[in-house]
Amino acid sequence: MTDFNDRVPFNLPYMTGKELYYIAEAHFNGRLAGDGPFTKRCHGWLENRTGCNRALLTHSCTAALEMAAILLDIQPGDEIIMPSYTFVSTANAFVLRGGVPVFVDIREDTLNLDERLIESAITSRTRAIVPVHYAGVACEMDAIMNVAGSHGLKVVEDAAQGVMATYKGRALGSIGDIGAYSFHETKNIICGEGGVLLVNDPSLVYRAEVLREKGTDRSRFFRGEIDKYTWQDIGSSFLPGELIAAFLWAQLEETQTITDKRLDIWTCYHELLAPLENAGYLRRPIVPDDCQHNAHMYYVLLASGIDRDRVLHYMKQAGVDALFHYVPLHSSPAGKSFGRLDGALKVTEFQSSRLIRLPLWIGLTKMQQSEVVQVLAAALHA
């Protein structure tokens, strides 16, 4: 077995090298509040790249999802269809408005919301569908948009992991009425804590600007469209300051390079792990033809009967930080009290119990990757 001097950490944030330079520029500009020159550059880049109607930086993807729930006027008792296999913010954003998450099972292949189960989960209280693009692999958006259209439902894409990934050539987050990305340190493109709201439905743009600026029409004032700004609607402070936007700009400039580097690492794992899949020990990720993913994550699904805790423990002892992922929301204390199940979530429970995420960060060497795979193989044989 390979001997390690250093641990292989699960994640290391990647810096392009220009972050502090742009932060210094913002400092010399003397404009530190939100919506300054760096924020505008980020907005322009995101609008161009995704084709969304309006991009609005937020202090997290969680905040962007909270804005989405307000924009859709979610009322107490309204139901929102979503997977249980997701991060808490997908549900919490709607629960904060009194909404009820309705958990639907996921697909066996992509671990995304199973679009074939949505229609039967719809009731007279259903207002929206929230597909989550797990690991930057798109949900079946055509089918989801069709169901939503025929029942008059809104679609909010939780594309937290989806920057630079596409579905039939369209950017994730730009297909539903509203989308959201995360720039959290653990995602592909980062600024520590940060996110963006992508508003695709043009009729929601004005209100999105207002509620992000404490319920005022300050954005119109800044554009010179009005001569004073006043309180218009409910709202909060959802925008990040310029230092964060300056950091993010350094990352956005390098987005293609960052994505390409991650894809190389992903592909290397995919090749190295083929023999273990062929031998029946695990299943590798499945990416449908219509989807270009962004190498946000590399995971494997252990064959049933293999003790995941034992495998993770073995890998940790051998110096490799591999991790499991979401505890399904429907099995959590808050999920039980705020949400409800639609059907038995058999796939969710099975897949989430056998999933392991492997280290994936820019700078991880091919040597380290083969060590990770060797350690995993040894753990499976142990």
Ligand X SMILES: *Cc1c(COP(=O)(O)O)cnc(C)c1O
Give CA separation, 359 vs 84, 95, 373, 374, in Å: 24, 33, 10, 13
> Please, what is the minimum distance in Å from the beta carbon of residue 150 to ligand X?
26
Count interface residues toward ligand X (CB under 6 A): 14
Determine how β-strand 54-58 pairs with β-strand 298-302: unpaired
Residue carrying structure tokens 């992508």: 198
132 binds ligand X (CB under 6 A): yes
Q: How many CB atoms lie within 10 A of CB 359?
A: 22
What separation in angstroms does the CA of 252 have from each of 8, 22, 63, 209, 240?
27, 12, 20, 22, 16
Stretch that binds ligand X, among 68-76, 84-92, 203-211, 278-286 (CB under 6 A): 84-92
> Of 211 and 376, which CB lies nearer to ligand X in the complex structure?
211
CB nearer to ligand X: pick between 195 and 335 = 195
For residue 30, the one-letter residue type is G
Sequence-distant (6+) residues with CB within 8 A of 202 are 53
Select the residue interacting with ligand X from 39, 50, 90, 255 (CB under 6 A).
90
Which CB sits closer to ligand X, 131 or 235? 131
User: From CA 204, how far away is CA 54, in angstroms rounded?
Assistant: 9
Nearer Cβ to ligand X (323/378): 323
Of residues 165 through 184, those in contact with ligand X by CB under 6 A are: 182, 184
The span of 1-9, 25-33, 58-66, 271-279 binding ligand X (CB under 6 A) equals 58-66
Task: Rule CB under 6 A: say whether 216 interacts with ligand X.
Answer: no
Question: In the complex with ligand X, which residue's Cβ is closer, 136 or 281?
Answer: 136
Q: Exposed, middle or buried: residue 321 (CB in 10 Å: 0-12, 13-18, 19+)?
A: middle
**293 is an interface residue for ligand X by CB under 6 A:** no
The interface with ligand X within residues 135-164 (CB under 6 A) comprises 158, 160-161
Q: CB neighbours (10 Å) of residue 168?
A: 12
Task: Among 62, 92, 216, 352, indicate the residue that binds ligand X (CB under 6 A).
Answer: 62
The two three-digit tokens of residue 342, written as one number: 């639609």
Query: Which range touches ligand X (CB under 6 A), out of 86-94, 203-211, 354-362, 374-382?
Result: 86-94
Q: What is the CB-side half-sphere exposure of residue 206 using CA atoms within 13 A?
A: 7
Residues that bind ligand X (CB under 6 A): 60-62, 86-87, 89-90, 132, 158, 160-161, 182, 184, 195
